[in-house]
A = this chain, B = another copy of it.
């Protein structure tokens, strides 16, 4: 299998390091496994015989990769160039129009190229269309990393709970807001103070709007509902309230009564993202940047998964998706 990676930011680079670390495993599944291309805003690297994963693992920009021509064209040119079997799409999420990821994914699927993506944008704006295109072309479109990072939600439901029917999904799907609410709960600080601290620690972005207004969590609601509950939702089908108006006083009152305020995404007949009171002893009441997802199933009852929602651990999901395409 010949793989091309588009997007060489934190996730793209972490993914390359994971591939390098797990190369023996990957080659044991497919002895022809190789990374033939990597694209980023500077252009792209391409070698049909495979790029060197060891060298790719230690650079921070593709311009630093020595001994290979850097092409000036776009990722689309890379996808049109060679015999690529799998696109790994790791460009940043754009919830407005899904670009540039959407164009990359459509291009790949149209050419019969499998896709593994960590990019929520294309799925939020065009989930059904992309899945149908993948089906029509007989290729896979995998997106385990897009919701709750390292927690294997989609493959769990698809592969481990095949006899169950999902009645409801709810949980904490945004680590940044969970971090802020955790600091407010345990340290008594204001929203603004907690946000500032999160920004200083690299947990919140400079423009934190998408996280703190609940839009990021709503994107995950869209993907979960479309993927696991057969819906065809867009972002404006989710009722969203963020955490910006939560006061230290509200947190204190909740705490005294044995609750924490958490930003809860919920999917059943209604789709909402809103601050909710969660009992401190409840399995969903996890703190820091953790994510937690709870399924209500008709046979298994309530099943909760807790793990890392972002960061380097996310490549576990991308690697498993990659192995899924390989086998």
State whether A160 touches B163 (Cβ < 8 A).
no
- Contacts A301-B150, A313-B300 given: A25-B163 contact, CB under 8 Å? yes
Docked complex Cα distance between A322 and B319 (Å)? 28
CB under 8 Å from chain B, chain A span 281-327? 281, 283, 285-287, 290, 292, 297, 299-308, 313, 315-317, 319-320, 322-324
Closest to A19 in B: B163
Docked complex Cα distance between A137 and B197 (Å)? 60
Could you say which of B151, B152, B303, B316 contacts A307, with CB atoms under 8 Å apart?
A: B303
Closest to A260 in B: B281
State whether B320 touches A161 (Cβ < 8 A).
yes
Q: Which of chain B's residues have a CB closer than 8 A to the CB of A152?
A: 156, 160-161, 300
State whether A160 touches B161 (Cβ < 8 A).
no
Q: Which of chain B's residues have a CB closer than 8 A to the CB of A323?
A: 162-163
- Contacts A305-B304, A306-B304 given: A299-B283 contact, CB under 8 Å? no
- A18 at the binding interface (Cβ < 8 Å): yes
Q: Which of chain B's residues have a CB closer than 8 A to the CB of A285?
A: 281
Cβ of A179 to closest chain B Cβ, rounded Å:
14
CB under 8 Å from chain B, chain A span 267-290? 280-281, 283, 285-287, 290
Cβ of A251 to closest chain B Cβ, rounded Å:
15
**Copies of chain A in the complex:** 2
Closest to A25 in B: B163
Docked complex Cα distance between A46 and B20 (Å)? 55
State whether B163 touches A319 (Cβ < 8 A).
yes
- A164 at the binding interface (Cβ < 8 Å): yes
- A66 at the binding interface (Cβ < 8 Å): no
Could you say which of B301, B306, B315 contacts A283, with CB atoms under 8 Å apart?
A: B306
- A159 at the binding interface (Cβ < 8 Å): yes
A-B contact pairs, 15 of them (CB 8 A): A150-B301, A151-B303, A156-B156, A160-B320, A162-B324, A164-B319, A281-B287, A283-B286, A299-B316, A300-B308, A301-B316, A302-B308, A303-B306, A304-B306, A304-B307
Apart from the given pairs A163-B320, A304-B304, 15 other A-B contacts in the complex at a CB distance below 8 Å: A18-B299, A22-B163, A150-B299, A152-B156, A152-B161, A160-B160, A160-B320, A161-B316, A162-B320, A299-B315, A300-B316, A301-B307, A301-B316, A304-B305, A305-B306
